[in-house]
Amino acid sequence: MATPPHPRLLLLPLLLLAAASSSVSADDLVAELQSLRARSPSGVIHLTDTSVTRFLSAPASRRPYSVLVFFDAASLHSKPDLHLPQLRTEFALLSASFLDHNPGSGDLFFADIEFAESQHSFHQFGVNSLPHVRLVRPEHASLGGSEQMDQSHFSRLADSMAEFIESRTGLEVGPIVRPPLLSRNQIILIGILFLISIPFMIKRIVDGETLLHDRRVWMAGALFVYFFSVSGGMYGIIRHTPMFLTDRSDPNKLVFFYQGSGMQLGAEGFAVGFLYTLVGLMIAGVTHLLVRVESLQTQRLAMLAVMAIGWWAVRKVIYLDNWKTGYSIHTFWPSSWR
């Protein structure tokens, strides 16, 4: 609660100073940027066309700082494949971590520009696709000549962006501080609730009337874990692979299956995992359910269906596996048989 008045107090004399001196010096710009930064919660300065001219178009001699600019467009936030909102929050996280590590630094500032209100700046930078992040260093004479952060640096979000900054400016970003999922108070509350509930849980367990005693819950859980693991779900979590890709040659087409055994997409894994599980469930159905059905006709139809679907599923998986890995599994017959 103590922080908000503080920067404002600072701001006032600074602004007065800036107004008093007619010629804007480099120190003034830095001070102004610092005050702007202090006003934003994460330290990301919001730039508009006018402030871009003021802070970035100035000649290099009056610009001793670097600015990392994030190009944002509110109209494109709804497009899921651009991940703009996510990248924007990561950008804010990066900025906050940098501020934590280098408080009061005047070497690097973080800024964002919105497309709808600053089209001119977008044009000046020559930005025509998003997501786009640019680093304007003191030695860059024009805005168009500034350095663009390439796609690979978005891949691991704030961590890889930090690497980009460290390699280009030589400034230390410091550890990325992510806000914990639950605040401390929530954790304590949950802990207390859990402690209180222990006796009740024990009582119910002793009485034997919980969900835990329901066999079907365990069965469903086991089957789900199986399904999730064989479909390579953990691979998706560890490697952050997307569900599908867009085709490079034809952007309207989606790629669900990736050729090459070293990598898989989310959707293909779940599709194959589903086939694995489906066949098993059908076999179990025949063994344990179908034998109890009285009608011979139903049994016949169901068995035919199971065999047809099972045959198809197994063949599909074999085909997909051969296609993906490029293996050709063959038999070994005696050479005299050929």
Partner 1 sequence: MAEPEASSAAANGGGRLRNAFGGVLSAFTLLLIGVLAFSIRLFSVIKYESVIHEFDPYFNFRVTQFLSKNGIYEFWNWFDDRTWYPLGRVIGGTVYPGLTLTAGTIWWLLNSLNIPLSVETVCVFTAPIFSAYASWATYLLTKEAKGTGAGLMAAAILAMVPSYISRSVAGSYDNEAVAIFALIFTFYLYVKTLNTGSLFYATLNALSYFYMVCSWGGYTFIINLIPMHVLLCIVTGRYSSRLYIAYAPLVILGTLLAALVPVVGFNAVMTSEHFASFLVFIILHVVALVYYIKGLLTPRLFKVAMTLVISVGLAVCFAVVAVLVALVASSPTKGWSGRSLSLLDPTYASKYIPIIASVSEHQPPTWPSYFMDINVLAFLIPAGIISCFLPLSDASSFMVLYLVTAVYFSGVMVRLMLVLAPAACILSGIALSEVFGVLTRSLKFQLSKLFDDSSSAVPASGDSSSESSTNSTKSENRNEKSETAPKEKPSKKNRKKEKEMAESVPVKPNKKEKRLLVLPFELSVMGILLLIVLGGFYVVHCVWAAAEAYSAPSIVLTSRSRDGLHVFDDFREAYAWLSHNTDVDDKVASWWDYGYQTTAMANRTVIVDNNTWNNTHIATVGTAMSSPEKAAWEIFNSLDVKYVLVVFGGLVGYPSDDINKFLWMVRIGGGVFPHIKEPDYLRDGQYRVDAQATPTMLNCLMYKLCYYRFVETDGKGFDRVRGYEIGKKHFKLTHFEEVFTTHHWMVRIYKLKPQKNRVRGKLKKLKSGAKSSSTLAAGRKNPWQ
Which residues from 144-173 bind partner 1, rule CB under 8 A?
150, 152-153, 163, 167
Selected range binding partner 1 among 9-17, 115-123, 225-233, 248-256, rule: CB under 8 A: 225-233
The size of the interface with partner 1 (CB under 8 A), counted in residues, is 75
- What six digits make up the tokens of 131? 């997501």
Q: Which stretch binds partner 1 (CB under 8 A): 21-29, 74-82, 106-114, 271-279?
A: 271-279
Helix (H/G/I), strand (E/B), else coil: 38 = helix
Residues in Cβ contact with 124 at an 8 Å cutoff, skipping those fewer than 6 apart: 52, 57, 143, 144
Nearest approach, Cβ of residue 244 and partner 1 (Å): 15
Q: Which is nearer to partner 1, 43 or 273 (CB)?
A: 273
- Shortest reach from residue 129's CB to partner 1, in Å: 17
C-alpha–C-alpha distance, residues 338 and 327, integer Å: 22
Question: Residue 12's Cα: distance from chain center in Å?
Answer: 40
Do the beta carbons of residue 76 and residue 70 sit within 8 Å? no
Distance CA 275, CA 270 (A): 9
Question: DSSP label at 131?
Answer: S
245 near partner 1, judged by CB under 8 A: no
- Segment 296-315, which members bind partner 1 (CB under 8 A)? 296, 299-300, 303-304, 307, 310-311, 313-314
CB 231 within 8 A of CB 269: yes
Would you count residue 223 as binding partner 1 (CB under 8 A)? yes
Burial class (CB in 10 A: 0-12, 13-18, 19+), 175: exposed
- C-beta of 34: minimal distance to partner 1 in Å? 29
Specify the stretch interacting with partner 1 by CB under 8 A; choose among 50-58, 119-127, 185-193, 213-221: 213-221
Nearest CA to 165 out of 63, 68, 74 is that of 68
Among 170, 180, 199, 251, binds partner 1 (CB under 8 A): 199
Does 243 interact with partner 1 (rule: CB under 8 A)? no
Stretch that binds partner 1, among 88-96, 180-188, 247-255, 260-268 (CB under 8 A): 260-268
Q: What is the DSSP letter of 213?
A: G
Give kind and range of the element (H or E) at residue 14.
helix 5-20
Closer by beta carbon to partner 1, 141 or else 218? 218
**Residues within window 30-89 making contact with partner 1, judged by CB under 8 A:** none
Is residue 205 a contact point for partner 1 (CB under 8 A)?
yes
Q: State the nearest-atom distance from the C-beta of 71 to partner 1, in Å.
A: 20
Q: For residues 109 and 67, is the Cβ–Cβ distance under 8 A? A: yes
Read off the amino acid at residue 298. Answer: T
Query: According to CB under 8 A, which one of 88, 115, 147, 226 is a site residue for partner 1?
Result: 226
CB 108 within 8 A of CB 41: no
Q: Is 334 in the site for partner 1 (CB under 8 A)?
A: no
- Work out how close the CB of 29 gets to partner 1 at its nearest, in angstroms, rounded to a whole number: 30
188, 222, 243, 254: residue in contact with partner 1 (rule CB under 8 A) = 222
